[in-house]
Amino acid sequence: MKVLVIGGGGREHALVWKIAQSPLVTKIYCAPGNPGTAKLAVNIPIKVEEIDKLLGFAKSEGIDLAVVGPELPLSLGIVDLFREYGVKIFGPSRAAARIEASKAFSKDLMKKYSIPTAAYGVFTEITEAEAFIKQTGAPIVIKADGLAAGKGVVIAQTEKEAVSAVKDMLSGNAFGDAGSRVVVEEFLTGEEASFLAITDGRHIIPLASAQDHKAIFDNDQGPNTGGMGAYSPAPVVTSDIHQKAMEQVVQRAVDGMAAEGCPYQGILYAGLMIKDGEVKTLEFNARFGDPECQPLLMRMKSDLLPLLIAVADKNLAGHSIEWNDQAAVCVVMAAKGYPGDYPKGDIITGIEVASKLDGVTVFHAGTSEKDGQIITAGGRVLGVTGLGNGVVDAIKKAYTGVDKISWRGVQYRKDIGKKALQRI
């Protein structure tokens, strides 16, 4: 069958890499793709937001299944469009994707269906937000309501900083339209984990546990990013926590979305805060996490493609996922200056050397090709992922790969997986 993967980052390279292993596949296309996907698929120069062009391509090429990677096309209604024209597609509808596209919608859903989360308020006026901030106190969390590429969250340490963040967002200076409404919520303490599940709107299969690293610098210092690394499994997700996450968070969310008239089909990603044996929900995402997708798919023994088809067909019952007992660790190598302004066009060396190491896979994210050389083209440039016998071995393999790769000003965290080591 012919498969179209939509997106061009590290997550999409991982999806193409995994789907390419399926005996069901005859040809893979990736739009727009990157130099990594180009080795396994035919890259198509169509942007993810050009959903009409993507539909036209899918129809003309006889695509049997489209797989949506990023959140933007989901929020634009690409799934609804493809379904309208009879093209099978994996991902939630526009209405269901609001669980990520609107943090206000998501928080209201959690409140209505008793999904544990932080106390919050939704505001469009600075004075009302300011009153809530003073009542709650600092530290406090300010979130842009709309999509902001994983960077629309400010953890304010003082009330003054919080008010300033609200003003920045509501004025449109910080995140444009995404910040025209803000969610202000209490600051939760504990340890974060990423809990992903695949669902057809009724049946749910949890994926293996994972943990992301949002902050740019070691020890979770500095501003938030789209993610600087991830590992799986995450020891903080014990069997008890796993059960609570399924029952109190994922199941209630899937049931709630169905009750709201927008059944959820696709990957449902719950960002959890875990403390004292309890879980609270930080956020929901409507797709695979990036970089969590990379270590998760490295560990998945099952063929991914039948699962994606089953979700698109609303027929997930009877399916299961088999996981490799090994651990996987992904270290994101980023451009100098990220998550702020960063240069592009620097020549990257060592990718081929790293890729030949045992247990190491290099996923391209923000890369491009020029004159036969791979160059930087984004903030998060590569995701070097190691698969090993336990987290210690996986960390060693990932960083051995990282050490082989370089470009001017490259930055990466040196502590990915450290939290797992503390729980072994």
Identify whether residues 151 and 43 lie together within a single domain. Answer: no
Report yes or no on 102 lying in a domain.
no
CA separation for the pair 424, 419 (Å, rounded):
9
Report yes or no on 112 lying in a domain.
no
225 contacts 216 by C-beta, under 8 angstroms = yes
Report yes or no on 268 lying in a domain.
yes
Report yes or no on 147 lying in a domain.
yes
φ, ψ (nearest 5 deg) of residue 37: -65, -25
Output the tens digit of pLDDT for each of the chain's 424 residues: 999 999 999 999 999 999 999 999 999 999 999 999 999 999 999 999 999 999 999 999 999 999 999 999 999 999 999 999 999 999 999 999 999 999 999 999 999 999 999 999 999 888 899 999 999 999 999 998 888 765 688 889 999 999 999 988 888 766 666 667 899 999 999 999 999 999 999 999 999 999 999 999 999 999 889 899 999 999 999 999 999 999 999 999 999 999 999 999 999 999 999 999 999 999 999 999 999 999 999 999 999 999 999 999 999 999 999 999 999 999 999 999 999 999 999 999 999 999 999 999 999 999 999 999 999 999 999 999 999 999 999 999 999 999 999 999 999 999 999 999 888 7
- Given this model, what pLDDT does residue 149 score? 64
Task: Say how many domains are in the chain.
Answer: 4
CA separation for the pair 266, 55 (Å, rounded):
19
Report yes or no on 288 lying in a domain.
yes
CA separation for the pair 194, 203 (Å, rounded):
20
- Given this model, what pLDDT does residue 170 score? 86
| Alpha-carbon distance values, 53 to 2, 59, 152 (Å) | 17, 10, 29
Identify whether residues 63 and 154 lie together within a single domain. Answer: no
CATH code of the domain in which 200 resides:
3.30.470.20
- Given this model, what pLDDT does residue 56 score? 98
Identify whether residues 146 and 216 lie together within a single domain. Answer: no
CATH code of the domain in which 380 resides:
3.90.600.10
φ, ψ (nearest 5 deg) of residue 112: -65, -35
- Given this model, what pLDDT does residue 43 score? 98
Identify whether residues 304 and 204 lie together within a single domain. Answer: yes
Identify whether residues 236 and 290 lie together within a single domain. Answer: yes
Report yes or no on 210 lying in a domain.
yes
Identify whether residues 195 and 266 lie together within a single domain. Answer: yes
Identify whether residues 268 and 340 lie together within a single domain. Answer: no
175 contacts 144 by C-beta, under 8 angstroms = yes
pTM, two decimal places: 0.94
Burial class (CB in 10 A: 0-12, 13-18, 19+), 407: buried
Report yes or no on 321 lying in a domain.
no
- Given this model, what pLDDT does residue 150 score? 59
Boundary residue ending a domain (38, 66, 90): 90
Identify whether residues 33 and 72 lie together within a single domain. Answer: yes
Closest alpha carbon to 230 in 173, 163, 290: 290
Identify whether residues 308 and 220 lie together within a single domain. Answer: yes
Widest pairwise Cα distance in the chain: 59
CATH code of the domain in which 171 resides:
3.30.1490.20
Identify whether residues 176 and 284 lie together within a single domain. Answer: no
Residue type, 367: T
CATH code of the domain in which 49 resides:
3.40.50.20
Report yes or no on 6 lying in a domain.
yes
Identify whether residues 166 and 249 lie together within a single domain. Answer: no
Identify whether residues 291 and 404 lie together within a single domain. Answer: no
- Given this model, what pLDDT does residue 330 score? 98
Structural domain harbouring 217: 191-312
Closest alpha carbon to 269 in 192, 196, 211, 207: 196
